[in-house]
């Protein structure tokens, strides 16, 4: 059963819930900056609910410079292995299909603001 605060992200805010790697690829490869919210086990990890509340506020604070999606339980493990972001909850940032950063676990507001600003200003790595 999904936590009600995660359900709010998909039901009320209309964020997609991505259930397979092709859906994740399609979402992150679209032009622009995208954030994957990897919730982890909300029953065991109390930080998950906190991040589910904080992320929409961060999106507003950054004037919607990025869009967001929720990673479904079925694909979390594979995504963590592909991205090398193992701690949950986590926010994984992409620009035009390339991972540009990640913020695992819950952080205080000032740290989110600093780290997201840094991530958004990173150039893409040369291929």
62, 117, 47, 54: CA torsion to nearest 10 = -10
Does the reported pTM lie above 0.85? yes
pLDDT of residue 127: 41
Query: Which residues have CB under 8 Å from 27's CB, separation 6+?
Result: 16, 18, 34, 36, 69
Tens digit of pLDDT for each residue in 23-60? Answer: 999 999 999 999 999 999 888 888 999 999 999 999 99
Query: Any idea which of 1-5, 12-16, 46-50, 111-115 has the lowest mean pLDDT?
Result: 1-5
What the chain holds in terms of domains, given with CATH numbers, is 4-120 (3.40.30.10)
Mean pLDDT of 78-91: 94
């Amino acid at each position: 059963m999904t936590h009600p605060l995660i359900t709010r992200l998909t039901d009320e805010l209309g964020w997609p819930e991505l259930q397979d790697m092709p859906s994740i690829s399609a979402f992150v490869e679209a032009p622009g900056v995208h954030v994957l919210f990897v919730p982890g086990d909300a029953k065991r990890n109390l930080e998950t609910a906190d991040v589910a509340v904080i992320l929409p506020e961060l999106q507003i604070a950054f004037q919607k410079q990025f869009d967001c999606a929720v990673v479904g339980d079925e694909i979390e493990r594979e995504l963590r292995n592909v991205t090398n972001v193992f701690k949950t909850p986590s926010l994984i940032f992409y620009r035009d299909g390339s991972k540009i950063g990640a913020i695992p676990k819950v952080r205080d507001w000032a740290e989110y603001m600093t780290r997201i600003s840094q991530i958004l200003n990173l150039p893409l790595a040369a291929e």
